[in-house]
Amino acid sequence: MRASHKESWPRGFPIDHLQKNFENWGEQNNTNVGDIKYSSIGVIQSLCDGDPDNDAIFRMTRPDSTKFTFGRTATSLPLLIPYSAYSPYNAQATTHLYNAFWGLYLPITVPGRVTDIWRSYITQRIMKDIGLHVMYTPPIVKHERSAHDYLADFAAESDLYSKTAELLKFLDSWSSTANTLPKRISDLWIALYERDYIGLDDVEAVKEWLRVLQAVGYKYPDVHDISVVSNNRANQTSTTIEQIQPTLDGQPYRSFPLFKGNERPDSAVVKVIMMTMDEWPLLKSWVLVSVLFFILKQLPSI
């Protein structure tokens, strides 16, 4: 996608593999162009211009690290991660499609600079058992990040630098014979706890998260026979599954209001979810304008 910085990497890439990756890039750059069925996509990660999600080492050692750009040309196509590979994705401009909705859970027992990266690797391991891929797309936003203390970020990212390579080895060797997706997910999180990648609170929270999904009517994808999965991984292929999309009927949570006929409620509750404590100044004007617009809509026409 014609990145302006050569030899760059995303936060969460195993730092001890960087030099080898740079040296072998010319040999490995054998991407193919083709079509992919929508049903094979689990997660879409959109890139960003400006200050993308690099780690503290990149930011402290590279000039103009906050002035990152990607080329927008006819050759800037989405990039599909091979079935046999892993690639970190973050919690920014990232879409989990319905069959990967279970992968939204963020670990609570690791630092914030680690949690979304651990989630991305754990989710990818499970997605390999249900035939789903991660896809990267060209930038859709320009990111202007609030001021960061890079040394503090470096300390918070310690596990990314010291544990990622071993985590990926473990995930690649891990398997489960559980015949349901919730049980297989639970098995993996227990194994991660036993190896000190996450804490016990995460094991309990994941189980609760899976129960809640089932309670609200989420339909888990089926898992495939382990021999089929192993063969697919060896041959870098995937098993296509039907992408089930939810309907509005009977859904307890929606991203927009739905009223019966022309009926309108006397009041409404608006929930705003902010990722960090510094976002309120950015959202305040939007919230005030939205509330004013809602009030004006309730007034009779003059």
Residue 46 CB contacts under 8 Å (≥ 6 apart), including other chains: 93, 94, 95, 136, 137, 138, 139, 140, 141
Alpha carbons 99 and 240: distance in angstroms, whole number: 12
pLDDT digits (tens, 9 = 90+) for 37-85: 778 899 999 888 888 888 899 889 888 888 888 876 656 678 888 888 8
pLDDT band, very low/low/confident/very high, at 253 (cuts 50, 70, 90) = very low
| pLDDT confidence bin for 273, thresholds 50/70/90 | low
User: What are 277-301's pLDDT values in tens digits?
Assistant: 566 776 777 778 877 877 887 777 6
Q: Is the predicted pLDDT of residue 245 greater than 90, yes or no?
A: no
pLDDT above 90: percentage of residues in the chain: 40
Residues 6+ apart with CB under 8 A from 123: 42, 43, 100, 103
For residue 136, the cross-strand partners are 45, 79
Predicted pLDDT of residue 243: 45
The string of pLDDT tens digits covering residues 153-162 is 999 999 999 9
pTM over 0.85: no
Residue 227: per-residue pLDDT: 44
Calculate mean pLDDT across residues 126-137.
Answer: 91
Write the DSSP assignment of 148-214 as a string of letters: --HHHHHHHTHHHHHHHHHHHHHHHH-----SSHHHHHHHHHHHHHHTTSS-HHHHHHHHHHHHHHH
Mean per-residue pLDDT, 191-208: 96
Cα 256 from Cα 187, distance rounded (Å): 35
**In the predicted model, what is the mean pLDDT of the chain?**
80
Give pLDDT tens digits for 203-244: 999 999 999 999 988 999 988 654 455 555 556 554 444 444
Q: Yes or no: say if 149 and 189 are a contact pair by the CB < 8 Å rule.
A: no
Q: How many helices (H) and strands (E) does the chain have?
A: 10, 4
Mean pLDDT of 1-25: 84
Residue 8 has pLDDT above 90, yes or no: no
Mean pLDDT score, 21-49: 77
- Mean pLDDT across the stretch 3-24? 85
pLDDT of residue 244: 46
Provide mean pLDDT across the span 131-159: 87
Average pLDDT over every residue of 264-282: 61
CA 242 to chain centre: 21
